[in-house]
Amino acid sequence: MTIAVQPKVYVVDDDQGMLDSTVWLLESVGLSALAFTSGQAFLQACDARLNACVILDVRMPSMGGLHVQQALIERGINLPVIFVSGHADVPIVVRAFKAGAHDFIEKPYNQQLLLDSVQQALSASVAQRVTSQALRDVQERLDSLTPRERDVLLPLVKGCTTRQIAERLAVSVKTIDLYRSRVMKRMQAQHLPDLVGMAIAAGLVDPLNLR
């Protein structure tokens, strides 16, 4: 699956004048903007593969910004959302941030403030994408392990010695050394701390309960 290199900024606002001015501002600094006058139209066109963020108006007819944000979450689309609103109140702001909003900016907005927020959101999108891919890679390696290799992996990353693992599995130390070597190779870990980090990232072990 190919991910577009050029970052995109989705702009969703039912106010055509505000929509046009926001698109112009973004394009004036070399950003590519995709404009929508409704949440439904945006959701139909939204591409989760893009390096992108969303500038989303809170109050729109039919489907408001908070509902659009919820729809993104339900679809598993993790794009940074920057809310803009001329009628923001505390409960709306709280709801937006609790649902993971990147920023909340009041209209009429300061142009540089919006641009700074967009750049930060795009950087966050790249970082999230890199992290997600790394986790998928780790999970694929874990899935490639045999049941016996997983039996060795878990006590190994929890701090057990080779002899302790051998006694637990009722096999020889030499056999555990062999399995340990296989686990390190399959997981593409150069050193034991690398393996521990992968296990923590994959949620296999609690970092606070390691020996």
* pLDDT per residue as tens digits for the range 110-142: 999 999 999 998 888 776 766 667 778 888 888
Q: What is the pLDDT of residue 170?
A: 92
Q: What is the pLDDT of residue 17?
A: 94
Q: What is the pLDDT of residue 192?
A: 86
Asked whether the bond before 108 is cis by omega within 30 degrees of 0, the reply is yes
Domains located in the chain, CATH noted: 8-132 (3.40.50.2300), 144-209 (1.10.10.10)
Task: For residue range 81-100, list pLDDT tens digits in order.
Answer: 999 998 777 888 988 998 88
Q: What is the pLDDT of residue 74?
A: 92
String of DSSP letters for 133-179: HHHHHHHHHHHTS-HHHHHHHHHHHTT--HHHHHHHHTS-HHHHHHH
Decide if 69 contacts 56 (C-beta within 8 A).
yes
Structure tokens at 96: 């937006």
Distance CA 192, CA 79 (A): 34
The answer to whether the pTM exceeds 0.85 is no
Residues in the chain where the model's pLDDT stays below 50: 1-4
Q: What is the pLDDT of residue 130?
A: 63
